[in-house]
Amino acid sequence: MYSSARELSRLILLALLVAASAGQAYAQSFPSRPVRIVVGYSTGGPYDAISRTIGQKMAEFLGHPVIIDFRPGAAGAIGADHVARAAADGYTMLFMGSAFMIAPSVAKLPYDTIKDFASVGQVATGYTLLVTNPALPVRSVKELIALAKRHPGKLTYASSGSGGPLHLFAELFKADTGIDMLHVPYKGAGPAMTDVIGGHVDLMFIGITAAVPHLKSGKLRGLAISADQRVAKLPDVPTMTEAGLPKSETDPAIGLLVPAATPKEIITVLNGALVKALQTPDIKQRFDAMLIDPRPGAPEAFSALMKNQIAIWAKVAKSAGLKP
């Protein structure tokens, strides 16, 4: 019996060695054809520009083209579901952002955001600004909080839609400050910002790229930015932490995922191409023009960030009374 157990152990070890060798051999030949990045949003938006930029540069290090595959709908869920069901061979990646990490708390999904995906790595960090109409008699977050507390439920804030990232950022701000404001949802960030500029709504949270031209022209006033330090192009806008609200310091994160069963060796190849791409001067220059920061790092680091943000948004959604 002892001999049989020892023989079984040898067979198991041999099988593991064969599997490891096969995985390494596959990784050495990967990729042998074009790779796809699935984007769950329409062309023409910020994700379009970022995904194409990173795809073109990754292709140089992978030695094969990277095709951007747009599958818009359901706030990115259609694209995510497609990747979750794709072959776990490294040839299909998901380009995702904050909405992916918020979705489990506000929508019933056909996939599990943690169990059905594996991290390739973070692509970039964006920044969200708290902006007001200049006519609103406040020039700081402190003054805004004081005004909201004097007139509970009277101030209005716009968003790109109920349950979306801009809505949840505002709800996080409300929970952090203890103020009450009226939510005015729109079908997109563009019309929401237009009505804040027009004075029909008092304030909103908005991505930095869309906000900067209107801040420069004086059509909007920036009170704070969600960032770990002040942004060079907006040196007069304090961070949320500087404004006394460190809990509201949650930066939008953009990254790449693959189906959960993708071999680690393949993920290592993809992560290597991503990190090399993000470290090139070309990418840094392009991302700087888009007002986002490249964030090269290990798959494990982005996976941990995702889990942390999913937990944060779950608490915010519960506090706001939002349910899937």
The CA-atom distances, in angstroms, between 60 and each of 34, 55, 64, 313 are 12, 9, 7, 36
Give the separation between CA 295 and CA 300, rounded to whole angstroms.
13
Average pLDDT for the chain:
91
Tally of residues, the chain:
324
Give the separation between CA 295 and CA 284, rounded to whole angstroms.
10
Q: Output the pLDDT for position 46.
A: 83
Question: Residues 38-47: pLDDT tens digits?
Answer: 999 888 878 8
Is the preceding peptide bond at 31 cis, omega within 30 degrees of 0? Answer: yes
| CA 142 remoteness from chain centre | 28
Give the separation between CA 118 and CA 103, rounded to whole angstroms.
17
Which pLDDT band, with edges at 50, 70 and 90, does 13 fall under?
low
E strand spans, 87-163: 92-96, 117-125, 128-132, 156-159
Decide if pLDDT at 199 tops 90: yes
Question: Residues 215-259: pLDDT tens digits?
Answer: 999 999 999 999 888 888 899 999 999 999 887 767 789 999 999
